[in-house]
Amino acid sequence: MIVIDVSLWFDLFNRRNELRVKLAEAFFNEVEVFTIYEPILFKIEFVGLLIRYNPRDIVRKMVEEIVAKIRLCTGLDDEAYKVALATGCRAADAYYIACASKTDSILFSNDKSQVINANKYGIEAFYVLEEKEKAFSKIEKLKESYR
């Protein structure tokens, strides 16, 4: 139903920017009812971000807890290739966009270029940092149809 870029997940733990933390907390409170899909790359990318600021045992525990709550998508190589070919985006972004495409999901991100490329590929995507009202409005509409 939804794909969430690692940039939004990371903001939950981004103690250098309290505004981004608060936005991420509000976002995740709203989407907790949905099935969240992530490319398998998410786990590796998330660990790579968190380990820069946290001890290994804490990172391992945080990632395990989050991965237990989401669905990891595999077999995205061909679709990610098509995404990259169509948009010229970064490889990691291609996997998130491919995951959204394969699961018929909406992509939420705090990475503007990823959102632009997702839209180029025909994926509905929201840049939450600048499109907060639109993103939260979309989430409310999704909740209505989800019930």
pLDDT digits (tens, 9 = 90+) for 89-119: 999 999 999 999 999 999 999 999 999 999 9
Whole-angstrom CA distances from 135 to 43, 58, 70 are 24, 30, 20
Tokens of 75: 């077999």
| Cβ atoms 110, 20 nearer than 8 A | yes
CA distance 80 to 98: 5
CA distance 19 to 84: 32
CATH code of 7's domain: 3.40.50.1010
Q: What is the mean pLDDT of residues 78-83?
A: 98
Top pLDDT among 136 and 14 is at: 136
Split at pLDDT 50, 70, 90, the class of 82 is very high
The pLDDT assigned to 147 comes to 63
Residue 49 sits at the vertex; the CA angle it makes with 51 and 3, to the nearest 5 degrees, is 135
The pLDDT assigned to 14 comes to 81
Taking only the tens place, the pLDDT of each residue in 136-147 is 999 999 999 876
CA distance 10 to 59: 12
Split at pLDDT 50, 70, 90, the class of 15 is confident
Cross-strand bridge partners of residue 71: 37
The pLDDT assigned to 70 comes to 97
- CA dihedral sign, ordered 61, 66, 67, 69: positive
Split at pLDDT 50, 70, 90, the class of 19 is very high
Total number of domains in the chain: 1
Amino acid at 51: I
Q: What domain range is 100 assigned to?
A: 2-146
Q: What percent of the chain has pLDDT over 90?
A: 93
| Cβ atoms 89, 97 nearer than 8 A | yes
Taking only the tens place, the pLDDT of each residue in 22-76 is 999 999 999 999 999 999 999 999 999 999 999 999 999 999 999 999 999 999 9
Cross-strand bridge partners of residue 37: 3, 71
The pLDDT assigned to 67 comes to 95
